[in-house]
Structures are given as C-alpha cells and as structure tokens.
Chains A and B, each alone.
Chain A
C-alpha cells in the first residue's frame, strides 16, 4: 500500500507546521512541509500529494486582516494548481489561520468564488486573542470526510479573529461541520463556550463535497493524552480527541 502524501503549506508567519506534520505522521502519512514560494516557483508540485494543509499561524502578520495576504497570493498565483488539485479529488484542511486563508481566498464555503466570498472570519466579540479549551459538537449530517465517526471533541482555540460572520447574518447555505458547545453538548451555551461570537456557534465548515474542511480550533494540539488540560485529574487517554481528524483524512486519501 503506497503511503499517503501530505503537503503542509508554509508561509511567512506560519507557526503550527511542525506539530501538524507530527499529527499526520502519527496518522501514517508521509509529510512534506513546503514554502509557498516553492510552489510558486514550481520547485514542489501540489499534484504530487493527496492532502494539502494550511496550518495555524499569523501569515504575513495578519496584516490587512487574518490570512488575507496569503489568501490573495494563493488566488492570484496558485489558483490553477489549487483548482486542479480540488478537481482531482484531493483533500484540503485549514486550521485556524488556514481557515482564515481558505475563506478569504474564496475556497470556502465553496471553491471558485475569488474574493466574492460571503463568509469571513473576523475579530472576536471579546476584542481579544484568547487561548482556551472548548467543547465541539459535530453535525452528523455533514458530508465532511475529516470528521466521520466524531460526535464531540475537546480542543484548544487560540485566535483573535475567529468569529465567523456572513453577509446574510445567518448560516444559511453553509455546510456546518462543527459547533461550539458546552460540556453537555449544548450549542447555545454562549461565551466563553463560543469563544468568539461566531454566527450559529460555527467552529468549522466544509464545502459541498466534504473534502475541503477548515476549523478554528487546533486538533493537532490534542492528539495525545497529556495535552488534555485535565489529564492529571481524569487520567491519560492514549489518543487525544483531535487525532481522529488526521486518521480520517489519511484513510480517505488511501482510497484515492
């Protein structure tokens, strides 16, 4: 069985690439961390991989708006490569800053919109960057291939611009994958369970095929037991809640 190849896209200010690579390696993938300049100069080819990941960070300092400058670069310089990658059935995962990039590049909520996106990720209602652990409830009806078999997750968020906002002011027409919830799974629990004020408590969305998925929380920061903030109270689990996302992606990509 050939190994699934994952490309982790790195740019100036990307800072979650190492732990994201580790998560995919743990899930059995071969990982190449590639600088955006290398893709633009064709020193690396997106087409050689089955999974593309845009990890967390502050690409270009979040100047103009989180993820905006890299999103602009991708839409102008890598549009064709990315479209081809999507058409060929590849998986795309965006985490935190990666979510911001995908939305601002118009790749989510549905590819091919350029800058006409009707969805954005904007400043938290608290006006602050916040690092805290939150509960997530998965939408069972979602076509998302990354979250299969996942009901609930406990993951950390760490962002200042994670509030999902839409022109319509509602989640209408979005493929919602994950919602912020409280310990009991109540998605209406409000702040701080919903840490940023996202419309409809949305933490993650995917495209209509379920192969392009992005979320604000950090699954790569909870792939092992000792990353759980209360493992000294509750005991250590072998795997953290986030690990299944990487496993699902790699297993799906094996089928490609």
Chain B
C-alpha cells in the first residue's frame, strides 16, 4: 500500500483550514492559531518509484500543493495536533472512481483500490477536552467517518456471501418486520393459504411495499374524525379537487413519479418535491445530497423521462444560536445541520448542472432534532412522452447507473419511524454519500436512449430500492428478477440486501428485446453501467431468483392490494393561546429592525450565492434582485426553451407558525402565499399547478391526525376556489424525536409548491423600487391578523388571530393585478407576507436603493385596527405592495376597480423609510442602509 499526503504549500491560502478555524471559534475554541488541511491518498497496490512519482504529480497541483509519498501519519507534538479522518468500512469513497481512472489513463496498472482521508493539522494551545470537541463537532461524523488510529486503514473487502435460503417463522414476523396487527393477519392468512413459510426477501418486500413511505397508508386510511367518517383522505380532498377542476393541461396527475402539465403543446413540465428529513438529521451532508439526488430522478422517471431544469429547496432547522449544552443526546447542533445540508444540496445540484432558483429557510426550536429538508425538481419532456410508459411481457428489466451496496438498507422503514437518541447508532446503513457525476452521466445517456425510443418504460430506483421500483413496474404484468445479475459495489451482499438496497444513482428501464443491443452499446459508449437483471412476464407474479434458486414468489395482487386499510381516530380542537397584551410601542423603527433581523425574515443570501442559479442559461428573474443584486425576489422565472419567450414561474408557500393555531388556515395561507408570489412577478392564475408536501408529527395521535385532516381539507377548498389543481404530492409522517422520556414533535408543516406557465417572460416584474415619485399601493385589505406572525414571535407570543383567506375575493384581486402587470402598469410588486407591510416596503426600498414614505392611516382595513404596530405587521393574506408611476396611475386604478386597494405612500430618493401613523405622527424614520444591515447581519456567515 502506498500512502500519499498532498498538502497546500507553505504561504498559500488554506481556505478550508481557515473556515474550520472560524467554526472552532464559533464553538468557543479561540486558541487555534492555524488549521491546515491535507488530502491523504491510500493506494492499494505496488508501484515502481517512477510510476509512484507520476501518480504523485497527478494528485498534487504543481503551483499550490506539495506531496509526500510513503510518509507515515505524523504524530502530534506540543501545540501541533494532528487528526486524520477516513471513511468507515462500507462507505464508498466518492473520489475513488475518478482517481483510479486518472491513474489508468497514465498507463499505470496495478492499483487495485484507492481510499482517501483528510488530515487536519491544528496549531494552538488546546486541551484534550477541546480537541475532542473540535473532532466530534467539526471533523468527524461517526455515522460515516472515524479518526484514524496509528495509521491503520486496511482495504479488507466485505466477507464473501454464501447462498442459503432464509425462511421466516410467521411468529417472528411482527417483531422482525414491524407490521400492524391487521397487516400481520393478512400476511399470515396469505402464507397459510400457500401452505408455506415466507422467505426473508418476501417479507422485506411486503414490509417495504406496505410502508408509510411507499404506500401512504395514513392518507388512504379510513379515518373517524369527530363523528364523520373519511374513507381515504387523499382521494376525498386533494385528488377530489383536481378531478373536479379537470384541467385539460394536466397531462399526468397522481399517476407517476411526478405530476405533469402542458407547457406549450410541444413540451411538458414534470414537477416533484420530496423530503429527506431523517437521514439529514443524522448526516446532514450525505442525507441532503441523496435527497436532491433522489428527487432529480423523479422527473427522470416520469413519463418516458424528463430533463431536470431547475431545483427548489426549503429547509427547516433549529435556531442557529441554540446553546450546545442544551442539545438532546445524539443531536447535531442546528448550525452544523444547516451548513451540512446546504453544502450537500449545493455540491450535488451544482455538479448536476441544475439551477437552484428558489427556496426558503425557516427556524423553530421544534426542528432541532428533526430538521426538514424539502428538495424539488422540475423537468421538461416532449408532451407526447408525458404519459407513464407501459412494458410488454417479454420486455427486459434493465438496471442502469450506480452499483448496488448496503446503502440505505431499511431506509424506507426508517423514514417512517420516529427518531430516537439511539437512531444515530442504528441508522448508519441508511445514510450514504451520493455521487452526482454518476447521476449526471446517467441523465445524459438516458435522454439519448429516450429520444431513440429504446425503452418502453422508466422509473427511478429510490426509497425501497429494486423492491419498490421493479415491484411497482411489474404490478400489471408480472416480472422475474435474477438478483445475482445485479452489479455490486463490494462482495458479501445477500440476495435480500441486493433487493432492498437503496443505493443512489440507479434507474430501472423496461427494454424491448429488439432494442437491448443498441441500448447497452449506447450506455457503454459513455461509461454508464447498464445490466439486464430480469424480464417482465404475463403471470402477474413477482418471482425472485438467486443463482437460479427461487427465493421469492409473490402474487402481485396480494403485494399491491393485500394491504388492509388502516382504521384511524382523529380529532381536532383549536388550542387557546394567551392573547398578547403588550402596549403599542410609541416608535416602530426598533420593532421593524427586530422583525427584519429575525431568523425567518433575514436575508438568505449566504445560502443562495452558493447555489448555481444561472446554469442552463434560462434565468429571467433571479432569487436575488435589485440595484445591488441582493434583494429578496418573490417567485423565480426561467425560460426553459432558450429560443422561446414562454416561461415558467416557480414559487412556494409555507407558514408553520399558523399551524399552532389552526392547520386549516395554515394550509390556506401557504396556498395563498405561493399564488401571491406567482402574481407578484407578473404571472396569472390561468395555468398554475400545485404540489403538496406534508411533514407531520406522529399521526397515530388523534389530535395530530386531526390537524392533518384540517390541512388537507383546506387544500381541497382552496384548490377549487383558485382553480389551481394539485398534480402531485408527498407526505412524511412521524417527524418527532424522543429522548429521556420526552417527545419533541415538529410543528405541522405543509410546503405548497406552485408552477405557473408565463406567456411572455418580458412581462416579468421584480420587487425592488425603481424610481422616485412612483406611488406605493397596497392591494388587498388588512385585518387584525397577527396570530403566529413574526411580530408576535419576536415577543415570544403566538396569539389566536390567525390570518384567514377569502379565496373568492383573493382570486378576483389576483386576476386584476395580473392584468395590470401584463399591461406593464406596475414598476415593482412584492408579496406582503412575513412581517407584513413593514417588512415588504422596507425590502422594496433597500433592494431598490431608494427611500419611501408610507401612511398607515391610508391602509384599507376590513376590520377596525386601532394600533399602528398591528397595521404595520399584520400578516393578512392576499395582499401585495405595488409601485406604479404617475403616468400609469389612472389605468392601474381602472384595472383594479372593484377590489380593495389604496395609495399608502410614495417612493422617494431620500434613502430613508418614513412611516406615519393613524394620528398622522411620524412613527419611524430609518435609513435604508440600517434596515438592510439589520436584515443581512444574522446570516452573514
């Protein structure tokens, strides 16, 4: 074995090291004077001196780096501490493949394997406790890594697997596979009818296919909700609205891996948002990376395959300033989770070349141990390929992309369970490091195969692995799979592990025999592995073989329809929160600065800049807008077909704070917010489709399930009222954490994602004020609705007056405003949401580099409000702040006639925001520089 150390030359900047020193400082370790990071390469093989020299010159940059070959791990000494961090056995090193390729390109053979490690040389006066803290909180995540002791690395592969058929005693089934009583009953009856025991792989298949994650049995359950009975919540709410709306431009809804709408008759759009919460809690980088990798494969696995053209990400974390010593056992600090998730998503999405155009980051203490990581991908495909494909009996099952390892085994059942302090110990197989280049190569070649018509059906291999992918594909024909044909990352996997592995970057194709040769040739030409692992049949059976032994034999009918419907109890009562009683502040400047600087409102530029939001060249309205490219844009607009003026608007709405009062109005508000953003950038409601994404607590609790019913009901009502159909969705339940007998449940969280088709992107409107003299309008009426608002939150209050929605009025208003922007009457428009009028006007002012004067007395109220702070910070829905030049005033007001609006001020070039109150007195005069600084400071990391 050769060990090569590549370090940055003395005197050269070590950016990674400096970043670590800063992070250590955040931990209170202030005595570190320098951190240097070195790459360590371990080559399994023997090389001549000359070959080794060549390899070293390959691995080290001649200008910035130097290398030491054959050097042993250098020992710590005095003020110099050395830590070397390597991957655990079973974690596939993401760099290995490229390094091996490059070495072979040099004509050097005889290197069997490569491992990499990182060496941290930390200089400074640190005691043992401090070093351990730096290691455990910054350098090593035991789930995938370990600190190398005494230079022991070892390339020992996994043990060889020797086939033996494992049968399961029916009595052991409940304990081993966590089935409910009625599910166990169904399994027992089935196998007693067959007169035999189930095999392990049959039970794994059933457990996975019947898991919450795969089959969404809670949403399909029979629910008794305060007297009434709901038979299948999904069908009777969200899908019902879509059926009733029956839009002709909805090409494929709730039928495939993503929902599909028509774009321009020639092209169609496939949109999906998923969550990857539990893995991200344990290994933020890998968990989030595989989250984005997984959702990108959804549009790829929709219809006959869509090319991913944008991502949208929404994260929910604990407060970044949470005290370390208060963390529950086994829980990573929210700052580390945030940084890891951001890096994981960025590294994967940037490498795939998919722009991250839109998103949000929210904070609440209840996300501490159970962060939420929503990743969404929109893809484009020819409209005539939008329908799910259909294989014929005789078509071959082809597994393409990455190899199969122990990755993510039981990830699905894990995703459907609660986290506990023990999860960190047990979940290591559920987390892996993705390899985005393998997925990029797969996408590139799949699109060529699609356009040549080489396969009849495609699906992604995600949660549940082959078990879900092939099991679902074969449902209406039958399929046989030879598990020993599946290419493995390393030896030692049993047939059952191969079947349920959730290794990333894999897709499954149905290929007609006459095309198989051309398809395999095409994949080989770009070094993408593709393997025939089975064949579709006509016997409606799932038959699994290993080395010609039959190891699984299930009827598709039982596998897919044998799951007994859940019977659940639900109830809901509006909780009574303390009604805030604090005096109205005489001046509002300080309050405005405080709300602007709150975690939820403050600038997310630190995150956005580290995503590529320009790649693919379609960017029309960016996440950061305004004079200095740093204002908070509403929705994003992209041009998916570069020689067309037609565009896509992508927006999201999420307001968990309102759920603590009433999940119905939380869901209604989220939908209104997503649609507001579409309107704010110049869109209209003619072709808007929605996705739902529920992240909930433990729905076996009637009150938690009742909250879910309330939210789903609102989705139905609002979808109909706005004429915006849901086209796909997802739910992640049991998001709670238990420790020391305590339970933290996340706030009920519903993400609404909207995609709208825009006729002409040249009509786009950004939120920044454009010119002094423009009139500032508020469109939409204000109510005393501060329950769950950011203003109350800054005072540690919740309240009860949750913002409601009047969808009839809101729709009228949005349609009128859409006409006004289409007629180019609006110079700036901003969604009025978190922080109300105060935050919206402040953001428009500093984004435009212009001042503003507003008068609260002119704000149209639907109910009396006697307090200035309540008018300024109310979060009533369906409101916009719009700037209109004097020349367009008459036309604008004519277009909006019939809806509630008023001029509340003017844009001025004073660089000051001035707010005048009900009595006419001046309540605030703050420079836009000060407002912007308050808004940017918190996340300037």
Contacts and interface: CB of A to CB of B under 8 A. Distances in A.
A35 to B, nearest CB: 6
B893 interface: no
The interface size bin for chain A is 35 or more
B63 A64 contact: no
Interface in B40-98: 57-59, 61-64, 94-95, 98
Interface string A14-28: 111011001100000
B619 A64 contact: no
A89 to B, nearest CB: 28
B612 A233 contact: no
B620 A226 contact: yes
Interface stretch (A46-54, A129-137, A171-179): A129-137
B764 to A, nearest CB: 6
Interface in A48-89: 56-58, 60-65, 68-69, 72-73, 76-77
Contacts of A23: 617
B610 A130 contact: yes
Interface string A68-112: 110011001100000000000000000000000000100000000
A72 B106 contact: yes
A57 B353 contact: yes
Interface string B750-778: 00000000000110111010100000000
B118 interface: no
A120 B64 contact: yes
Interface in A127-151: 127-133
Interface string B609-629: 111111111011110111101
A2 interface: no
Nearest to A240: B617
B629 A229 contact: yes
A251 interface: no
B437 A60 contact: yes
Interface string A210-223: 00000000101101
A15 B63 contact: no
B102 A69 contact: yes
B152 to A, nearest CB: 25
B61 A13 contact: no
B526 interface: yes
A170 interface: no
Contacts of A63: 94-95, 98-99
A117 interface: yes
A37 B445 CA distance: 13
Nearest to A164: B63
Contacts of B105: 69, 72-73, 76-77
B353 A233 contact: no
A60 B642 contact: no
Interface residues of B, number: 66
B499 to A, nearest CB: 29
Contact of A127 (B19, B106, B437): B19
A227 B19 CA distance: 33
B619 A127 contact: no
B436 interface: yes
A12 interface: yes
Contacts of B613: 131
Contact of B346 (A116, A129, A230): A129
A156 interface: yes
Interface in B77-135: 94-95, 98-99, 101-102, 105-107
A68 B101 CA distance: 12
B101 A60 contact: yes
A232 B99 contact: no
Contact of A232 (B16, B608, B611, B765): B765
Contact of A221 (B62, B106, B617): B617
A119 interface: yes
A9 interface: no
B527 interface: yes
Contacts of A68: 58, 61, 102
From A14, A133, A156, name the one whose CB has the most chain B CB atoms within 10 angstroms. A156
Given A16-B615, A123-B16, A197-B13, A61 B107 contact: no
Nearest to A236: B762
B823 interface: no
A119 B62 CA distance: 8
Given A15-B615, A61-B435, A229 B625 contact: yes
Contacts of B436: 13, 58, 61
A119 B621 CA distance: 37
Nearest to A106: B62
Nearest to B107: A76
B144 to A, nearest CB: 18
Most B-side CB within 10 Å, residue of A116, A220, A226: A226
Contacts of B457: none
A166 B609 CA distance: 27
Contacts of B614: 131, 156, 158, 218, 221, 227
Contacts of A158: 350, 612, 614-615
Nearest to A19: B617
B817 to A, nearest CB: 17
A120 B62 contact: yes
B181 interface: no
A128 B608 CA distance: 12
A125 B15 contact: yes
B526 A35 contact: yes
Nearest to B611: A131
B156 interface: no
A35 B525 contact: yes
A165 B12 contact: yes
B653 to A, nearest CB: 23
A125 to B, nearest CB: 6
Contacts of A226: 620, 639, 761-762, 764
B63 A12 contact: no
A115 interface: yes
B352 interface: yes
Contacts of B350: 58, 129, 158
B627 A230 contact: yes
Nearest to A115: B57
Contacts of A3: none
Contacts of A115: 57-58, 62
B98 to A, nearest CB: 4
B440 interface: yes
A221 B613 CA distance: 11
B13 A15 contact: no
B336 interface: no
B99 A126 contact: no
A107 to B, nearest CB: 15
Most chain B CB within a 10 A radius of its CB, from A117, A130, A158, A223: A158
Contact of A61 (B57, B98, B612): B98
A117 B102 contact: no
Given A12-B440, A61-B98, A131-B610, A19 B351 contact: no
Nearest to A117: B62
A123 B13 CA distance: 9
A122 interface: yes
Nearest to A43: B525
Given A120-B61, A123-B16, A220-B617, A58 B351 contact: yes
B610 A232 contact: no
B766 A122 contact: no
Given A13-B437, A226-B761, A233 B621 contact: no
A116 B13 contact: no
A156 B840 CA distance: 28
Contacts of A125: 13, 15
Given A60-B98, A63-B98, 11 more contacts: A15-B616, A58-B437, A61-B98, A65-B61, A117-B62, A125-B13, A129-B612, A167-B63, A229-B625, A230-B626, A232-B765
17 contacts: A16-B615, A19-B617, A35-B525, A68-B102, A69-B98, A69-B102, A69-B105, A72-B58, A122-B12, A122-B61, A131-B608, A133-B629, A197-B13, A229-B624, A230-B626, A230-B627, A232-B770
Pairs A-B, 6 closest by C-beta atoms:
A15-B353, A127-B15, A19-B617, A63-B98, A120-B63, A232-B766
